[in-house]
Each structure stands twice: as structure tokens, then as C-alpha cells.
Amino acid sequence: MFAGKTTELLRRIEHAREAGERVRVVKPTLDTRYAAHELVTHTNVRVAAIGISHVNEFAQHAQDFDTIAIDELHFFGGEATAAIERLRANGQRVIVAGCDIDHFGEPFAPFDVLIPLATEVLRLSGSCARCGAPSTHSERLVANSSRIIVGGIGDFEATCARCFRPMARDAQ
Ligand SMILES: [Zn+2]
């Protein structure tokens, strides 16, 4: 959270388009924080995106595109890895952004499996809200133990590993 992941994704989308690649941008329909058909960064930079609800839709929407950019990939869960590997097997390039550690402090699918398969991995960090060190974790500030909630400012806090307090598994 708040480490600039969507901003970095948008930068890469822009570069790919400048290089003449046809780029399809997708996002989970679950993430309706800002706009249904756009990626929007916390600083209000926007790019058009298709909202999809299941990894099965990746291939259909990727047809005729060189590059597929996917934001908030963790919303799609572990099944995303196979779907992405099929796109790569077609010769398509896939750029993704998302959270690789959940609020229990554990690896977040599909990144646990996807990261070793990736050509390039960039881990961004913000600053720990408590001590200012580089942040690796996002601590959930609202009591809700489901693995995925769509949050904005006030629902999560970026922390370092030392300051991180994992959500109790029985929290409601
Ligand atoms: Zn800290």
C-alpha cells in the first residue's frame, strides 16, 4: 500500500505504448475505489482499464494485444499464475502490480509462485507509519479477517517488519 505500485505500472504502460506495443490494461472489478474503467493512482494519474472478475477472462481480453498490464493482481488469487503463464507462452508480455504480503504477514498468492517465474521483479516500499523505516508490510486497521478487502487511506497502514502487528485470525 502507498508504495507507488500503480504509479510504476502506469509508467511501464506508457513506455510500452511509446515503443509501439499494443497494451491492454485490466483490473479486478472488485476494486471500485476510484473508477470502474480506469486505473487511478493515489495522486490521480489515470489510464483506461477493463474491469474483469475472473482470471478466465484474461485471455479473451488479451487477444490482439502485445502486452497485458494487470493491477491489484492479488485479488485474482493463485489461479492467476497459470493464466499469466498461458499469455507468456503465446509470446505476450505481462506486467503486474499487487501486494505480495497479506495482513497476516504471510506471502500472498499468486505472488508466492509468480515471483520466481518473473523476468523482472521490482519491490517498492513506502515508509513505515510508525518508525519511518522502509515498509514491507501493510497492517489492516479495520477489524475484518477476510483475506481480501478493498481499502483506501485509513484502512491500511504501511509498516516495516519490526512494527508490523499481524491481524488475529479470529478477528471479525
Ligand atoms: Zn517500523
Taking the centre of ligand 1 as the mean of its atom positions, its distance from the CA of residue 135, in whole angstroms, is 7
What local confidence, expressed as pLDDT, does residue 22 receive? 97
pTM of the model: 0.85
Show the cell assigned to 7.
504509479
pLDDT of residue 75 exceeding 70 = yes
Residue range(s) defining the domain that contains residue 36: 5-117
**Domain assignment of residue 123, yes or no:** no
**Domain assignment of residue 37, yes or no:** yes
Average pLDDT over residues 75-97: 95
**Domain assignment of residue 169, yes or no:** no
Mention every residue, 6+ apart, whose C-beta is less than 8 A from residue 129. 135, 157, 158, 159, 163
**Domain assignment of residue 171, yes or no:** no
Total domain count, the chain: 1
What is the domain-level CATH number for residue 71? 3.40.50.300
Taking the centre of ligand 1 as the mean of its atom positions, its distance from the CA of residue 138, in whole angstroms, is 11
Taking the centre of ligand 1 as the mean of its atom positions, its distance from the CA of residue 155, in whole angstroms, is 17
What local confidence, expressed as pLDDT, does residue 102 receive? 87
Taking the centre of ligand 1 as the mean of its atom positions, its distance from the CA of residue 105, in whole angstroms, is 14
Taking the centre of ligand 1 as the mean of its atom positions, its distance from the CA of residue 156, in whole angstroms, is 14
% of the chain beyond a pLDDT of 90: 55
The whole-angstrom separation of Cα 10 and Cα 162 is 31
Q: DSSP code of 20?
A: T
Average pLDDT over residues 71-86: 94
What local confidence, expressed as pLDDT, does residue 42 receive? 73
Q: To the nearest whole number, what is the mean pLDDT of the chain? A: 86
Question: Which segment, 90-94, 125-129, 153-157, is predicted with the most confidence on average?
Answer: 90-94
Range scoring the smallest mean pLDDT among 19-28, 35-44, 88-97:
35-44
pLDDT of residue 166 exceeding 90 = no
Average pLDDT over residues 112-132: 92
What local confidence, expressed as pLDDT, does residue 172 receive? 45
**Domain assignment of residue 139, yes or no:** no
What local confidence, expressed as pLDDT, does residue 151 receive? 55
Question: What is each CA distance from 64 to 10, 21, 60, 98, in whole angstroms?
Answer: 20, 11, 9, 25
pLDDT of residue 20 exceeding 80 = yes
Segment 147-159, tens digit of pLDDT? 555 555 567 788 9
Those residues whose beta carbon sits under 5 angstroms from the ion ligand 1 are: 128, 130-131, 133, 160, 163
What local confidence, expressed as pLDDT, does residue 146 receive? 60
Taking the centre of ligand 1 as the mean of its atom positions, its distance from the CA of residue 164, in whole angstroms, is 7
**Domain assignment of residue 147, yes or no:** no
**Domain assignment of residue 126, yes or no:** no
Cite the active site residues.
72
pLDDT of residue 15 exceeding 60 = yes
**Domain assignment of residue 158, yes or no:** no
